[in-house]
C-alpha cells in the first residue's frame, strides 16, 4: 500500500474575527521594508522601499498593463485547475472503487507522482509549443496529483455498508459512484483541491516565466531583466494578492458546501 496520508494538508484555520495583532505585525514588516530600504540607498535599485512599489502599482499605465497580465494568468489558472479537478476526481473515483483499475495504474502513478512537476515543462514545450495550451497542460498535470491521490484515498475509506445501501436501493455501479462514492469522498477531494489551488498558481507563473509573452510570471521576470525593480515587486504583490483572493474564495465555497462535514468532525464521528 503506497497511498499515504501525508498529502492531506492541514490548514491553520483563521478565527474569522478581526486579527489585530496579526495585522499589526504585518504593518510592522511593511515599515521595516520601507525604512531599511530608505536608509540604505545603495540597495534601492534591487530593493526599493514599499511606498515606491505601491506608488507604481497605482500608475494608470502600469495598472492597466498588470491587469492584462492578471487576466492572462487567471485564465490559465482557471483552465488548468478545473480541467485537472474534473479529470482527477473522475479518475480517482474509478481507481478508488475498482481495485483492478488501480493495480493496473499503480506503478505508473507511483513513478510519476514524486517527480517535480516543473520537470515536464520542457517536454510540454516540445510537444505543445509555447502557447496557452502548453501552460494549461503543465498546470493540469501538476494539479492532478493531490486531487487524484486524495480522491482514491477517500473512496477507499468509504464504509462498505454505505455502498451496500446504494446496492439494496437498486443503484447500479455508476450511479453508486456518482450518488454515493462522490459525496462520501468529498471531504478528501476537497483537501486535494485545496492543495492543488496553490500548486496551480505556482505552475502557471513558472511556465509563464519560462515561456514568456504574457502573464504575471512573464511580467515579473521581464521587469527584473529590464531593471524596473519596483515594477517587478508590483507584479509580485499582484500575484500574491491573486493567491490570497483565490484561497479566500475557496474557503468561502468550502465552508458552505461542506457544512455537513464540519459538524460531523466536530462531534468526533469520523
Partner 1 sequence: MSILDVEGLSKSYRQAGGESTLAIENISFQVNEGEFVSLVGPSGCGKTTLLMCMAGLIAPSAGRVVVKAAEVDGPPRNLVLVFQEYNKSLFAWRTVLGNVLFGLEVKGKPAREAEEKASYLIGLVGLDGFERHYPWELSGGMQQRVAIARALAYEPEVLLMDEPFGSVDAMTRLELEDGLLRLWKELGTTILFVTHDIEEAIYLSDRIYVLGRRPSRVIQAVEVRLGRPRNQLTTRADASFMELRNEIYKQTAPRLSSGW
Question: Per CB under 8 A, does 67 bind partner 1?
Answer: no
Beta carbon nearer to partner 1, 182 or 203: 182
Cell 462514492 -> residue: 181
Beta carbon nearer to partner 1, 29 or 264: 264
CA distance 175 to 167: 10
Beta carbon nearer to partner 1, 186 or 238: 186
| Candidate residues 74, 128, 171, 221; the one interacting with partner 1 per rule CB under 8 A | 171
With CA atoms as reference, report the closest residue to 52 among 228, 262, 269, 185: 228
Exposure string (b/e) for 235-249, b if CB count within 10 Å is 16 or more? bbbbbeebbeebeee
With CA atoms as reference, report the closest residue to 16 among 185, 251, 223: 251
8 A C-beta contact, residue 81 and residue 88 = no
Least distance (Å) between residue 211 CB and partner 1? 41
| Candidate residues 39, 159, 225, 256; the one interacting with partner 1 per rule CB under 8 A | 159
Q: How many residues touch partner 1 (CB under 8 A)?
A: 21
- Compose the 182-201 pattern: x for residues touching partner 1 by CB under 8 A, - for all others: -xx-x---------------
Query: CA 231 → CA 40, 56, 166, 261, distances in Å?
Result: 20, 7, 57, 44
Beta carbon nearer to partner 1, 208 or 254: 254
Least distance (Å) between residue 181 CB and partner 1? 12
Beta carbon nearer to partner 1, 180 or 199: 180
Beta carbon nearer to partner 1, 46 or 174: 174
Query: CA 173 → CA 120, 159, 165, 243, distances in Å?
Result: 36, 16, 12, 39
- Compose the 224-263 pattern: x for residues touching partner 1 by CB under 8 A, - for all others: ------------------------------------xx-x
Determine what percent of the chain falls in helix, strand and coil, rounding each to the nearest 5: 80, 0, 20
Query: CA 96 → CA 61, 63, 86, 221, distances in Å?
Result: 51, 47, 15, 41
| Candidate residues 31, 103, 167, 213; the one interacting with partner 1 per rule CB under 8 A | 167
List residues binding partner 1 (CB under 8 A). Answer: 159, 161-162, 164-165, 167-171, 175, 180, 183-184, 186, 260-261, 263-264, 267, 269
Amino acid at each position: 500500500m503506497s497511498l499515504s496520508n501525508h498529502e492531506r494538508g492541514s490548514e491553520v484555520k483563521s478565527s474569522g474575527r478581526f486579527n489585530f495583532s496579526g495585522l499589526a505585525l504585518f504593518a510592522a514588516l511593511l515599515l521595516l521594508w520601507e525604512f531599511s530600504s530608505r536608509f540604505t540607498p545603495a540597495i534601492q535599485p534591487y530593493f526599493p522601499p514599499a511606498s515606491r512599489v505601491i506608488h507604481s502599482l497605482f500608475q494608470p499605465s502600469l495598472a492597466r498593463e498588470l491587469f492584462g497580465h492578471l487576466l492572462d494568468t487567471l485564465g490559465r489558472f482557471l483552465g488548468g485547475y478545473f480541467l485537472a479537478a474534473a479529470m482527477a476526481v473522475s479518475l480517482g473515483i474509478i481507481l478508488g472503487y475498482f481495485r483492478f483499475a488501480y493495480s493496473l495504474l499503480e506503478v505508473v502513478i507511483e513513478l510519476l507522482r514524486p517527480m517535480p512537476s516543473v520537470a515536464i515543462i520542457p517536454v510540454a514545450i516540445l510537444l505543445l509549443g509555447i502557447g496557452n495550451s502548453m501552460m494549461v497542460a503543465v498546470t493540469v498535470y501538476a494539479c492532478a496529483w493531490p486531487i487524484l491521490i486524495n480522491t482514491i484515498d477517500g473512496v477507499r475509506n468509504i464504509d462498505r455498508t454505505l455502498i451496500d445501501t446504494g446496492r439494496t436501493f437498486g443503484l447500479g455501479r455508476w450511479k453508486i459512484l456518482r450518488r454515493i462514492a462522490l459525496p462520501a469522498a468529498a471531504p478528501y477531494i476537497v483537501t486535494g483541491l485545496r492543495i492543488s489551488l496553490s500548486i496551480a498558481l505556482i505552475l502557471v507563473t513558472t511556465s509563464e516565466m519560462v515561456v514568456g509573452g504574457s502573464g504575471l510570471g512573464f511580467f515579473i521576470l521581464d521587469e527584473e531583466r529590464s531593471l524596473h525593480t519596483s515594477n517587478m515587486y508590483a507584479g509580485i504583490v499582484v500575484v500574491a494578492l491573486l493567491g490570497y483572493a483565490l484561497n479566500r474564495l475557496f474557503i468561502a465555497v468550502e465552508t458552505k458546501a461542506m457544512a455537513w462535514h464540519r459538524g460531523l468532525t466536530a462531534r468526533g464521528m469520523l
